[in-house]
Amino acid sequence: MDFTFDLQRLKNDFQGLNFEDPGVWPLTPRLVAFAALFIGTIVLGGLIDWRDQWGTLAQAHEEESTLRDSWLAKKRQAVNLDEYRRQLETINRQIDTLVKQLPGKAEMDSLLSDINQAGLGRGLQFDLFQPAPDELLEFYAAVPVKISVTGSYHDIGEFVSDVAKMPRIVTIKNLVLTTETPNPKNKNEKAVYDGRLRLNATAETYRYLEEDELARQQGGKK
């Protein structure tokens, strides 16, 4: 009965309200109206006035996250600084070793002669030994040499192995290996294959750039 009585009284409080004079409303309707006005003010203010502030706050959160990640990355680098320095020293030593394997411009003639002698030393016949123009790259130049040699399979294999063992860096690429049948001395005779092969390839070596070449490369890149 108490619940029914309270519900009925609440219903009576909201009946016959004079919207022109809210001051005479019962307590319950006034509290409900105040709460609705308060909530509406917050929602309206958020939609109109606080929207930009919310965007600024979200941006600040993103910047905070970015700065935190950057700080953690720099902290890890600082912790591993000694290890990075050791790795840098190792890399520098490896670079020095590789640079020593690259001849200078003045040494190229000697290197090309060594490649030629490696083939002649294996009994190969050079039909072509033609250095092509240098290809200037960022820090070094590639020097391709077109070669065509004939000889036995074993001798050609040994020649390629000798070139690979040279103290200077030389690579053999674009290899084409074909059989070589000699022309008969007499037109009536039939050509007989004597086991010789022909190797057409490109022997490419590398040299470091001279100071003026390096300056031109760096200047052109800039």
pLDDT in the model for residue 201: 93
Task: Provide the terminal-to-terminal Cα distance of the chain, rounded to the nearest Å.
Answer: 93
**CATH of 105-215 among 3.40.50.300, 3.30.70.60, 3.90.228.20, 2.60.120.260:** 3.30.70.60
Q: Dihedral, CA atoms, 156, 205, 95, 100, nearest 10 degrees?
A: 90
Cα separation, 87 vs 125, whole angstroms: 47
Cα separation, 152 vs 128, whole angstroms: 17
In the chain, which segments carry CATH 3.30.70.60? 105-215
In this predicted structure, the answer to whether residue 118 has a pLDDT above a threshold of 80 is yes
The two structure tokens encoding residue 151: 């000889």
Helix, strand or coil for residue 137?
coil
Cα separation, 160 vs 144, whole angstroms: 15
Question: What tens digit of pLDDT does each residue of 155-206 get?
Answer: 999 999 998 888 888 888 899 999 876 665 656 555 555 678 999 999 898 8
pLDDT in the model for residue 1: 40
pTM of the entire predicted model = 0.48
Cα separation, 27 vs 44, whole angstroms: 26
Beta strands (DSSP E) in the chain are 125-131, 135-136, 140-151, 170-179, 197-208
The residue that leads in pLDDT, 72 or 19, is 72
Taking all residues of the chain, what is their mean pLDDT, rounded to a whole number?
78
In this predicted structure, the answer to whether residue 49 has a pLDDT above a threshold of 70 is no
Share of the chain above pLDDT 70, in %: 72
**Which of 2-11, 118-127, 188-197 bottoms out in mean pLDDT, i.e. has the lowest?**
2-11
Amino acid letter, residue 96: D
pLDDT in the model for residue 81: 81
The two structure tokens encoding residue 213: 């070449």
